[in-house]
Homo-oligomer: A and B are copies of this chain.
Amino acid sequence: MAEKRIAVLASGRGTNLQSVIDGIKNGNINNAVLQLVVSDNERAYALERAMANGIEALWINPRTFKGSEDYNDAILEALRKRRIDLVVLAGYMKILSAAFVRAYRDAIINIHPSLIPSFCGSGYYGERVHREVLEYGVKVTGATVHFVDEGTDTGPIILQQAVEVLPEDTVDSLAKRVLRIEHILLPRAVDLYCRGCLRKEERRVIIEAN
């Protein structure tokens, strides 16, 4: 099977991007090449990480486009030019257009810092998730890697892992512990995808040894 060409979309620090870079380097992610990092934010540290690792870094400025659809089309064009197979969202804060999702159906992976379907959907991103988790008073949260569909955080789930909420947890301490799990799950999901180990049955994602 041909090596999968990956693009990562990121808006911020890019620690999840780093987990993919590291995964490819240390052999946890197989049959993959990280071709491109795209950001909507010129100052995203994710772009620095890309350049520091010899990966093409592309800032596409949303302000130079009429609207979200045009903007998404521009990213899509950049991906197609580079024959990207898999799109990984790693802290990417913009909504993908329906056309984008259709173009990369079952080939866009997102990581979310909760056990979907809890604490997800529009408005649930970043610290907000953990704050709501603490306010609700759940005793178990976690992280989810899923395929992206037209909804927000509604796509088929690839991997999940639980994280215990501790009595002394703050938003910060909980976010850190969940992030550690994100950095395990995301490279694992990317590896499974690139080795062709993921099969869908209705909404269920079946993991097959390959």
Contact = CB atoms under 8 A, between A and B. Distances in A.
Contacts of A116: 138
Interface size class of A (residues with CB under 8 A): 20 to 34
A201 B161 CA distance: 27
Contacts of A206: 167
Number of copies: 2
Nearest to A201: B137
Given A118-B118, A134-B204, A162-B162, A139 B167 contact: no
B161 A205 contact: no
A84 interface: no
A136 B167 contact: no
B137 A115 contact: no
Contacts of A159: 139
